[in-house]
Chain A
Amino acid sequence: MTVGQRERLESLRRDYARDLPARVRAIAEAAASLEPRSRETLQALHHLVHRLTGSAAIYGFTGVSRAASALEALVYSALTGTAAADPGRGPSLADLVAALESELAAATASDMQRKGDP
């Protein structure tokens, strides 16, 4: 890979990183405004989380992708009706959204540190 190609990839990654907080915020808002028994709102949330799971990993944000993947699995199981019979078992939607926000904060801090490196 040439220097120019590497720079272009890095530029795409920076653009993605810049927009990442807005994506996570959209997911948190969609999760907060989830209407009980509304398949549409659940599908919208799943769509947002599924995209983040895939794209974050491709752009190197593996922690964010992992957290999104856990959230996606929970939303998917709710969509397909395979959620655990006891909703008290395992992390809640709010827990997984909080974990995603925490991973975003860690990724942002790591990115800022990287930029500060000589």
Chain B
Amino acid sequence: MSRKPLSRVLLVEDDPDVQVVASMALSELGGLVVEVCGSAPEALRTAPVFQPDLILMDVMMPGMDGIAALEALRKDPRLAATPVVFMTARAQSHEVARYRELGSLGVITKPFEPESLAETLRGLWEGRDV
């Protein structure tokens, strides 16, 4: 049985400089439909409406961070099963293990290569347990 291809990505990133290049990488280079949120609370409001296949989220954001956002997403029945991939510069093995324990699908290390961001995300999407 073939899996549904990755199509819709909710990008959650507070830094406008990273937003613009990640969004371009995912949409223009990667052919994905992308919605951008600048904060975790905004993502929690947007996700039920946008209905992403996957959420790509920065870990370190002011106010509510990515980990708190993931916990909030998991409590919402509409979003509990939506895979979350974290982006972080802090990707030591114990931190990656912790993010996985918390239920993230994977971790993309910053800095990422814009040219391969969508491909990396598709790899994680296709390798997930369904």
Contacts and interface: CB of A to CB of B under 8 A. Distances in A.
The dominant DSSP class at the B interface is helix
B17 A16 contact: yes
Contact of A58 (B29, B62, B114): B114
Contacts of A69: 89
A51 B115 contact: no
B24 A8 contact: yes
Contact of B24 (A12, A16, A47, A57): A12
28 contacts: A1-B29, A1-B115, A5-B28, A5-B29, A9-B21, A9-B24, A9-B114, A12-B20, A12-B21, A12-B24, A51-B15, A54-B15, A54-B18, A54-B110, A55-B17, A55-B18, A57-B110, A58-B17, A58-B18, A58-B21, A58-B110, A58-B111, A58-B112, A58-B114, A59-B17, A59-B21, A65-B111, A69-B89
Interface of B: 15, 17-18, 20-21, 24, 28-29, 60, 62, 89, 110-112, 114-115
